[in-house]
Structure 1
Amino acid sequence: MSVVVPSSLLPASASPAFRGRIGRSADSGHYAVPHRYRLHVAPADPDCLSIAVTHGLLGLDATLPLRLLPEVPDAPDGSYTALRPLYEASAHLYAGPAAAPVLGDAWTGRIVSTHVPDILRDLALRFRGDGPDLLPEEHHEEIDALAALCADGVHRAAQRAGELGLDTEEGARREAEEALGTLFAALADLDARLTGRAYLLGPDPTLADVHVWGALVQLDTVHRWHLDAAALDRVAGFRALWAYAQRLAARPAFARHLDVEAVLRRHRAHCRGREAAGAGIRVVDWSGTV
């Protein structure tokens, strides 16, 4: 059964956290069956892109259909009209946003999960089939740590640096410098891990590579618009890291759902920040469209 946080306990902009899981057998209620589930994603969103890449690496087109949504939701509250019936069927009197991603159950017409980490784990563990082992047991903790590094050390640090970087107040400038320091330290850590290696944790890709690649896409396609030229020059200096990002971008599972223009349209639809000199600097030619 899915667990949902009552909408009265959530911020106005948040969607409820449906936390159903895919079990090992029929006794668990939700279990891996071909064609039972649907993944609803808007790949211009970084969380949805990570799910789409994982889906591609596992080769799940024939067993777990991917339903693609536009980059910008079609309702003012960030909802997708196509997802509204799923949300309303899954939570009594639901009135919040109907956001992506969603792992839906076609048998019941209800949501299994909207929680990205759980969806990624269940794809890797329950729908793997003959696909690669994206979540090796011996690397669980390291993959979680790298996911946290991407979220805090790359995404949030770059976002914070961009928000404060053009502020002339001394305290804000100091905070921006601290955020940049966090970002550079995270990138240096990743760069060192990748020197002389094709992937982060061995000879094959894992969820760690999905997390890191997605963070690099966001950094080079979204966050760079709010960082100054000096910061972007330092970011571009991590050569092993960006060569790795370029290699993965050439792989079909990573490239298939990456639309840089769509990422930018989604960003510009809600971003109110000022652009900085770094907007003109691009580290990776992700798709040749920017």
Structure 2
Amino acid sequence: MKAGELPTEEMTRDPMAFTDRVTASSTKWPIEARRYRLVISRACPWANRTAIVRRLMGLDDAISQAVASPILETIAGDAHWVFSDDVGGVDPVLGVHALRDSYLARRPGYDGGVSVPVLVDIPSGHLVSNDFESLTIDMGKEWVALQRDGAPDLYPDALRDEINAVNESVYANLNNGVYMAGFAPNQQAYEGAVRRVFAELDQLEARLTTRRYLVGDSITEADIRLWPTLVRFDAVYHGHFKCNLRKLIEYPALWSYARDLFQTPGFGDTIDFDHIRKHYYYVHSGINPTRIVAVGPKPVAWLTAHRREQLGGRPFGDGRPPGPPLEKDRVPQIG
């Protein structure tokens, strides 16, 4: 869908076009330090997941990171992720202005959607994958040789079935549900999506009232897939996408859970609320034709005490927290 357009029927997501994987056993795309570049947007929740896992696993130096501008640029009639905020409007490593150039390098003539996150092979400039689900799994399970000491196990074998079940429900009803509501073509579709969003939030509230994390007693892929939606909820989904039955701050357990993770190294230090608001309110001109960008809510509340440690649990299991982000990866501080 082009920027500014509204769908004429219920929104569906195209399957990922590039699903190659960088693995320890691959001969085409082997694990190799500083060979690949992760391209994200600070606004995008799917990209946020990869930024979090990259930090948690200590892959900051092994996989460099590019950040696209929150404002898309129209090229040949379509809205595209670009690197307007970099010097000369060009990514300094990939040497491209628009992310679509990496798609075209891999598949000349490609005319499908251009999404973030993506992993790009630096030597060839070819896009390797835009499959956000496998990117986080592989950073956790395949990049072991380059992970930091004390990196957590985000997808433990013993909990995998439960993690997958939680992820499936959260994705269908909440992660994607807020978009189904925001881009609904009619009242019926909107109300159905909103009901599913808040039914899922209600279930998560009950689940997190007695446990610190979604599955097990430490952070897993389930938390990493839920949290980027929560951190954007009051800032953009509540108003901009009309998911306004309740705010996140009206859910005691979810709000404290979200603050707990925000204050955990690797989570809040990937968030730029300015990028989030600019992207949603400006780019989605079909929903917000004036392109006036909301100024709130003020993010300082994310730093207030959460007291979730009273529920027990260990954020990193048997591991340790990551160190501070690299200087070039740092986001504006709250406060």
TM-score computed with the length of structure 1 as normaliser: 0.79
Amino acid at match of 1:270: V
- Within 2, Cα distance between the matches of 1:214 and 1:250? 14
Shift of 1:164: 6.4
**2:222 counterpart of 1:208:** yes
Conserved? CA contact 2:18–2:129, under 8 Å = yes
Amino acid at match of 2:200: A
Deviations 1:96-154 (A, max 9, x none): 55442210112332111011111111111112434111111222233233233232212
Task: Give the one of 279, 284, 292 matched to 1:266.
Answer: 279
> Sequence identity of aligned pairs in percent?
28
SS in 2 for 1:244: helix
User: Are the structure 2 counterparts of residues 150 and 230 from structure 1 closer, same or farther at C-alpha, using a change threshold of 3 Å?
Assistant: closer
SS in 1 for 2:215: coil
Structure 2 match to 1:87: 103
- Within 2, Cα distance between the matches of 1:215 and 1:268? 16
User: Are the structure 2 counterparts of residues 163 and 84 from structure 1 closer, same or farther at C-alpha, using a change threshold of 3 Å?
Assistant: closer
Structure 2 match to 1:104: 120
Conserved? CA contact 2:194–2:243, under 8 Å = no
Conserved? CA contact 2:16–2:131, under 8 Å = no
Deviations 1:159-201 (A, max 9, x none): 4445669x8xxxx3x6544433322221122122212322212
Deviations 1:234-288 (A, max 9, x none): x54321111000111112311122111211110012323269xxx8995973489
Shift of 1:227: 6.6
How does 1:120-139 map onto structure 2 within 5 Å?
A: 120-128=136-144, 129=147, 130=149, 131-139=151-159
- Within 1, Cα distance between the matches of 2:17 and 2:221? 21
User: Are the structure 2 counterparts of residues 289 and 15 from structure 1 closer, same or farther at C-alpha, using a change threshold of 3 Å?
Assistant: farther
Structure 1 match to 2:167: 147
SS in 1 for 2:207: helix
- Within 1, Cα distance between the matches of 2:110 and 2:229? 32
Shift of 1:56: 1.0
Shift of 1:209: 0.7
Task: Give the one of 172, 177, 189 matched to 1:157.
Answer: 177
Moved more, 174-183 or 114-123: 174-183
SS in 1 for 2:73: coil
Structure 2 match to 1:198: 212
Conserved? CA contact 2:40–2:116, under 8 Å = yes
Unaligned 5+ runs, structure 1 = 1-10
User: Are the structure 2 counterparts of residues 256 and 84 from structure 1 closer, same or farther at C-alpha, using a change threshold of 3 Å?
Assistant: same
- Within 2, Cα distance between the matches of 1:19 and 1:228? 33
Task: Give the one of 82, 94, 113 matched to 2:129.
Answer: 113
**Higher percent of residues as helix:** 1
Conserved? CA contact 1:155–1:218, under 8 Å = no
- Within 2, Cα distance between the matches of 1:85 and 1:33? 23
User: Are the structure 2 counterparts of residues 237 and 268 from structure 1 closer, same or farther at C-alpha, using a change threshold of 3 Å?
Assistant: closer
Deviations 1:45-102 (A, max 9, x none): 1111111111111111121111122112334423233434422220023355544221
- Within 1, Cα distance between the matches of 2:103 and 2:243? 43
Amino acid at match of 2:259: Q
Structure 2 match to 1:18: 18
Greater relative contact order (CA < 8 Å, ≥ 6 in sequence): 2
Two-structure CA RMSD over aligned residues (Å): 3.3
Amino acid at match of 2:59: L
SS in 2 for 1:55: helix
